[in-house]
Amino acid sequence: MKTCIAVLIALVCVYNKIVVQADRGQLYQTSKNVTYFINQDYAYTWYEAFLECSFRNMTLLSLERDEKIDELLQVINKHKFSKKPPHLWTGGIGSNRKFVWSNTGRPIVSRLWGPGNPDNSANMENCVQIYENTKHLNDIKCVEKFGFVCEMTQCNLDVAKACDPEKPESRRIEKYSGFVFNFNQGK
């Protein structure tokens, strides 16, 4: 019972922080009709960024195609950000130098990592950020504070549709009270 109360208090605190900061950040539309929400304030752990995106019915960014990286960099370079280059949380998460995109479960490909990464410094780097204004990713502690980037995908718009176009039967997205859950029904 004490644990449930502690968890509830923690969630309320996180929710209050998110609601207070909800006016920060901005939506951006790319030329390919992709919508991103970028908040560059260095105020969020990976978990808080994940919740921020979920509250917006979005997911933390996954960079599974080179075009997405180029599109995002165009948005960052085109618009005025007070922190240039911004460090932004992505949807990458993992352990023991094996990382996946949290919204699809697909592995992060090696060509995206910056030099020497992932290095899992002190065996504590389990989350992934876009490193500066480059196409490089960096593994870092999930409790560090950075900005974040969310993306709106078609499956975010219609929760009945599958998120994984290659395996539509293996994924289901459901929304409960503002939270978005990704259920992997495949192997």
Q: What is the CATH number of the domain that holds 65?
A: 3.10.100.10
- Give, for 132, the enclosing helix (H) or strand (E): none
Q: How many residues does the chain have?
A: 187
Domain count, the chain: 1
Q: Which domain holds residue 153?
A: 23-161
Classify residue 183 by burial, with Cβ atoms within 10 Å: 0-12, 13-18, 19+.
exposed
Is residue 73, in this structure, part of any structural domain at all?
yes
pLDDT at site 158: 54
Looking at the domain assignment, is residue 93 inside a domain? yes
| Per-residue 3-state assignment (H helix, E strand, C coil) for 54-113 | HHCCCEECCCCCHHHHHHHHHHHHHCCCCCCCCCEEEEEEEECCEEEECCCCCECCHHHE
| Residue 5: inside a domain | no
Domain contains 12 = no
Residue 9 is assigned to a structural domain of this protein: no
Q: What is the pLDDT of residues 69-101, one digit of tens each?
A: 888 888 888 877 666 667 899 999 998 889 999
How far apart CA 106 and CA 52 sit, in angstroms, is 22
Percentage of the residues of the chain whose pLDDT score is greater than 70: 66
